[in-house]
Amino acid sequence: APEMTTLKGRPLDRTAVDSLLRRRFFYAPTADIYGGVAGFFDFGPPGCSLQANIIETWRRHFVLEEDMLEVDSPMITPYAVLKSSGHVERFCDFVAKDSVNGDILRADHVVEEILEARLRGDKEARGETVEVAGNAKKKKKKKLKGETATEGLKLDDAVVQEYSEILAKIDNYDGTGLSELISKHDIRNPSSGNKFSLPVYTQNLMFAVSIGAGKLPAYLRPETAQGQFLNFSKLLEFNQQSMPLASASIGKSGRNEIAPRAGLLHYVDPEGGKKHHRFHEVADVKINLLDRHVQLAGKTNAIPITLGEAVQNGAVDNETIGYFIARIQLFLTKLGLDPNKIRFREHMENEMGKLLYFCVDAELLTSYGWIEAVGCADRSAYDLSCHTKATGVPLVVRESRKEPLVVTEFVAETHKAKFGPRFKKDRKAVQSVVDQLTQDVKEKLSLELKENGKITIDVPEVGDGKVELTSELIKIEQQTRTEYTREFIPNVIEPSFGIGRILYSLCEQVFWTREGSEERAVLSFPPAIAPTKVLLVPLSANPDFKPLVANLTKELRRQGLSTRVDDSSASIGKRYSRNDELGTPLGITVDFQSLKDETITLRDRDTTAQVRAGQDEIIEAIVRLVKGTETWSQISARLPKFEGQELE
């Protein structure tokens, strides 16, 4: 992965970002005073607010814009549901066990970590600069116990080539492949130096719980989608039985960690190539696409391409998934993410195998490399079919046909009144086999029945597995009927958003430090996303300022703008610096001049420039800046500059 940079293009020091985010309580380890829980985080006030603004933006961008129907299901999902959906069997990672201390690590992650460390060591040995800021690098190295050999160790050119190719397609190895890699390249547990017990094995990613005194096994939901699938018919009914239909869910999901996710399901008719009626609106949106063929060839270079081109040349499967990929790109850039630090990576075959669908991930560049933040999958009719099969409840759309359809086919009818007494408790099993006979078999059986007056079918659950049916019990013949309605299982396009990952990546991507004073960090969130919009700074603790500040707070709150007052004794410059760290885009100073003529100053976080004007004018300017209808350069061109009190 390319090295991560700040918003201003300098090398990013992860330790600096992380310590800022913890110090200002964007987040903290869960149960910190108890030593924390690996992978679990609490959001503090600015983190909560940032999260709420991201979710609100998401809701407007997707749910409102597309008239989606919202559903909220409990986090606990019964076993039976996840058994049908395939999660119980296949929602697994490959893990490797330390042969001495029993540590369990994700196999792909450990291979990635070790090979990357070796490549870094090789670069050092070749005298190439390794562009990682001081502390972050130290931290990374510290983790690699028992791997000291990598430091400054030069590798053969062929080995460098091999490692790079492995890393490019690391997500495509199955269990056998990973076991071979670990064995061939002597991959060991980096924190102990021990070998792993091979082969690697699968471990389910879900949290098991039980409902009602241990009687009903269940899991914390691994995704928000299942709750939407199960309610398909109710949503269709709510939508007055009409397509297009789309649903949305926001909430926490649990897969190894409990993280906030927001997911959409867009139902599409599988006939007609999955066109989208608004695709033309996004055909010119450009993304960085890393397609599967490039990865399989051992490369990682994403190619800039418009969605129009990508759908046309087949790199993106169809218009509907293309439409949502574009909408995702627009959403991410609206949040303030850098288009150069966003790429869309197409899944390779073995990855898709996990849950059987075509998938593209939006990945965001961070100091941890590219991390998957949004998935955009074509789940086809898979889930609805699974649940229909398991429950017998048809999850389908019924539409009037414009042209009636004439169907001629073999139909098998059983004689219900005689069927019951003949088969008793087995009648359902027998009936079920009859119902599932294919056209070919029915044709064959109809001839047999005509010839012999009886047929034999396989019903494994009954007696010796063979059941004889006489023509008294069953009739099989060709019939012709006219269908006026069409019934189909819609396909599903599912964009699914890891809110926590987007939030963290955003913090890294908008981070920078002021030229010449590295300790003055800034988080340049767009005003609409920033946790607090306006900092109110009275010049001093003089009580005369209080009424003016209180009134400003009230007025800004009436406009729906969140504010924070800092009336501490620190210097104004210091107080602004503290709020640059919180990403507060705007600051108002109230000084003695304000008491005389009711003018106040407005400061821009990014340039630190200030203007001065009357209270109403300043509030109006803030509303426009936050709504995005005016930029700071427009404001500063139109309102008088102020160069007074900020002493930094």
Site of interaction with a copy of itself (CB under 8 A): 24-25, 28, 30-34, 37-45, 47-49, 51, 64, 69-78, 80-81, 95, 104, 203, 207-213, 216, 218, 220, 227, 230-231, 233-235, 237-238, 240, 251-252, 254, 257-258, 387, 390-391, 393, 395, 557, 568
The Cα–Cα gap between 63 and 67 comes to 6
Question: What is the nearest approach in angstroms of a copy of itself to the Cβ of residue 286?
Answer: 28
CB neighbour class for 615 (10 Å; exposed up to 12, middle 13-18, buried from 19): middle
Q: Which residue, 56 or 284, has its beta carbon nearer to a copy of itself? A: 56
- Of 156, 200, 169, whose CA–CA distance to 350 is shortest? 169
Question: What is the nearest approach in angstroms of a copy of itself to the Cβ of residue 475?
Answer: 32
Question: What is the nearest approach in angstroms of a copy of itself to the Cβ of residue 573?
Answer: 17
Q: In Å, what is the CA distance from 421 to each residue of 202, 273, 417, 453? A: 48, 49, 7, 20
Question: What is the nearest approach in angstroms of a copy of itself to the Cβ of residue 32?
Answer: 7
The Cα–Cα gap between 217 and 78 comes to 6
Q: Which residue, 182 or 235, has its beta carbon nearer to a copy of itself? A: 235
Question: What is the nearest approach in angstroms of a copy of itself to the Cβ of residue 306?
Answer: 28
What are the structure tokens assigned to 627, written together? Answer: 């709504």
- Of 605, 604, 619, whose CA–CA distance to 548 is shortest? 619
Question: What is the nearest approach in angstroms of a copy of itself to the Cβ of residue 300?
Answer: 30
Q: Which residue, 254 or 587, has its beta carbon nearer to a copy of itself? A: 254
According to DSSP H, which parts of 152-288 are helical?
A: 157-168, 175-184, 225-230, 232-238, 279-282
Which run of H or E residues covers position 190?
none
Question: What is the nearest approach in angstroms of a copy of itself to the Cβ of residue 618?
Answer: 22
If one counts every other C-beta atom within 10 angstroms of the C-beta of residue 281, the result is 12
Residue with tokens 């001839």: 447
Give me the helix-helix angle, 615-627 and 546-558, nearest 10°. Answer: 40
- Do residues 559 and 547 touch, judged by C-beta distance below 8 A? no
Q: Which residue, 81 or 449, has its beta carbon nearer to a copy of itself? A: 81
E-strand ranges in 499-639 read 511-514, 517-523, 534-538, 563-565, 586-590, 599-604, 610-614
Q: Which residue, 38 or 647, has its beta carbon nearer to a copy of itself? A: 38
Question: What is the nearest approach in angstroms of a copy of itself to the Cβ of residue 94?
Answer: 13
Q: Which residue, 66 or 617, has its beta carbon nearer to a copy of itself? A: 66
The Cα–Cα gap between 576 and 566 comes to 9
The Cα–Cα gap between 410 and 407 comes to 10
Q: Beta 245-255 vs 69-70: how paired, if at all?
A: parallel
Question: What is the nearest approach in angstroms of a copy of itself to the Cβ of residue 345?
Answer: 27
Q: Which residue, 183 or 391, has its beta carbon nearer to a copy of itself? A: 391
Q: In Å, what is the CA distance from 617 to each residue of 555, 592, 639? A: 12, 19, 9
Q: Which residue, 504 or 632, has its beta carbon nearer to a copy of itself? A: 504
Question: What is the nearest approach in angstroms of a copy of itself to the Cβ of residue 37?
Answer: 6
Q: Which residue, 50 or 181, has its beta carbon nearer to a copy of itself? A: 50
Q: Which residue, 32 or 483, has its beta carbon nearer to a copy of itself? A: 32
Q: Beta 474-488 vs 27-29: how paired, if at all?
A: unpaired
Q: Which residue, 103 or 338, has its beta carbon nearer to a copy of itself? A: 103
Question: What is the nearest approach in angstroms of a copy of itself to the Cβ of residue 528?
Answer: 15
Q: Which residue, 362 or 552, has its beta carbon nearer to a copy of itself? A: 552
Question: What is the nearest approach in angstroms of a copy of itself to the Cβ of residue 270?
Answer: 22
Q: Which residue, 76 or 160, has its beta carbon nearer to a copy of itself? A: 76
- Do residues 503 and 531 touch, judged by C-beta distance below 8 A? no
Note every long-range contact of 607-612, with CB atoms under 8 Å and residues 24 or more positions apart, other chains counting: 607/632, 607/636, 608/576, 608/646, 608/648, 609/636, 609/641, 610/641, 610/642, 610/643, 610/644, 610/646, 611/635, 611/636, 611/639, 611/640, 611/641, 611/642, 612/639, 612/640, 612/641, 612/642, 612/644
Q: What is the DSSP string of 120-146?
A: HHHHHHTT------HHHHHHHHHH-TT
- Do residues 327 and 494 touch, judged by C-beta distance below 8 A? no
Q: Which residue, 34 or 484, has its beta carbon nearer to a copy of itself? A: 34
Give the HSE-up count for residue 143: Cα atoms under 13 Å, Cβ half-sphere: 11
Question: What is the nearest approach in angstroms of a copy of itself to the Cβ of residue 33?
Answer: 4
Question: What is the nearest approach in angstroms of a copy of itself to the Cβ of residue 579?
Answer: 12
The Cα–Cα gap between 221 and 227 comes to 9
Provide Rg for the chain, Cα atoms: 31
- Do residues 521 and 23 touch, judged by C-beta distance below 8 A? no
